[in-house]
Amino acid sequence: MNPQTRSAVLVRHYESKELYDQLARELRRLLDNDPRFPRAFVQVKDRFKGAERLIEKIQQNNAGLSSGVKPIAADDFQDRIDDILGLRMVCLRLSQLNTLSSYIEGLVADGILVHQRQPTRRATFRVPPYEEDPNQPPLDMQYSGYSSIHFVVSLGPKHDAFERLGALRTEIQLRTIFEEAWGEVDHKYRYEVIRSGRRVPDHVHDGFRDLGLYLQAVARHAEHLCEELDRISAAPERGAGEAEAVDLRTLIQRKLSGIPAERTVAYIENRLQEHSRRSREVWDSARLDAAVTNEVLERYARVFWEILDRNPFQNPREFDLDVVPLVNYVLFSSIQPSEVAEAGLRSALQHRPGVVETD
């Protein structure tokens, strides 16, 4: 990269930092304000790529371009470098990666985010918890030095900052806490030595490969142990005469005259499972169906009107956000006196985005 191009890239990079900061804040606000985001087991980090690292990445990418392809330059690097803004979601368990992935896909389906590239999985090692299935293809044990699920997205037309920030891309990485530990140690030590131009001995490369293997095995073992604990804490078998579970989407449509988004259904399923473990009772869609009576809906609507000065479930854009506190209210009511449950509902609605507090 010649000095003129380098300077032009850096000038535009520094000038655009405020826009990327705004994008990071909008993404944070999106997650903070959506009660369906599984924040209980997720840590979220964001970072804006440093100037020198950006130059290095552009040079690396340009070196690998096919003949005749225009090199990345100041006028297009924001469209060709996907991770100028990175958002990382770190979860506790391997199975939670699928929950997070489904949540992001739900945002795409709703037009709040847009895929710029299809999601990719990059595995350091994939270590099976049990013997390999002979009917399945062998595991790819090739060392890649990285492990996560990657999304490259931008804000979609349904996001209120689309006109202002929709041209910017974000790379969202999903990792377990074990993969995050490996990545942090590797980046802080081995990568910095490589970046400085010094040679890393083969035995150190091998050691980091082994460390990745160990932590992937730990992640698999932790998932297995957590699954065992899930089974232990699960609710007892359904008793004779209890109603069979019904489809949640159908239930909500019948009760509330609206169709919920996929991530709302996924959120309710997770809440029912969580509540079943804590209450040691069966809480599934059939139990929820029986609990959402006309009396409960009337009490909910009364408190809803008191706080938000409107009826719930009337505005299609707000429908899903109206469903979530209803489900939480019903579940909370099953373990707390009615006055405590209503106080909790009032608190949840008062802290809802867009609510103006008055003296």
Note if the pTM is more than 0.75: yes
239 in any annotated domain: no
Q: What is the C-alpha end-to-end distance of the chain, expressed in Å? A: 60
Question: How many distinct structural domains can be found in the chain?
Answer: 2
- Greater pLDDT, 258 or 236: 258
Residue 241 lies in a domain: no
Are residues 119 and 182 both part of a single domain? Answer: yes
pLDDT at 339 over 80: yes
Mean predicted confidence (pLDDT) in 25-46: 89
Q: State the DSSP string of 52-113.
A: HHHHHHHHHHHHTPPTTPPPP-TTTHHHH-TTSEEEEEEESSHHHHHHHHHHHHHHHHTTSE
Reply yes or no on whether the pLDDT at 145 is more than 50.
Answer: no
Confirm whether 65 is domain-assigned. Answer: yes
Residue 233 lies in a domain: no
Pairwise CA distance, residues 12 & 272, whole Å: 49
Alpha carbon distance 236, 278 (integer Å)? 12
Domain's final residue, options 182, 198, 227: 227
The answer to whether the beta carbons of residues 204 and 167 sit under 8 Å apart is no
- pLDDT by residue (tens digit) across 238-250? 555 555 567 899 9
Same domain for 189 and 66: yes
Residue 236 within any structural domain of the chain: no
Same domain, 208 and 274: no
> In Å, how far are 30, 47, 163, 196 from 87, measured between CA atoms?
13, 7, 21, 26
Residue-number span of the structural domain to which 287 is assigned: 248-350
Residue 237 lies in a domain: no
Q: What is the pLDDT of residues 193-231, one digit of tens each?
A: 888 888 888 898 888 888 888 888 888 898 899 888 877
Q: Is the dihedral of CA 182, 188, 189, 194 positive or negative?
A: positive
The arithmetic mean of pLDDT across residues 250-263, rounded, is 92
Whether residues 216 and 255 share a domain: the answer is no
Boundary of a domain, candidates 169, 194, 227: 227
Residues 26 and 107 in one domain: yes
| 359 located within any domain | no
pLDDT at 219: 86
Cα gap 184→154, rounded to integer Å: 26
Pairing of strands 113-122, 85-91: unpaired
* Residue 27 shares a structural domain with residue 153: yes
> Is residue 198 a part of any domain in this protein?
yes
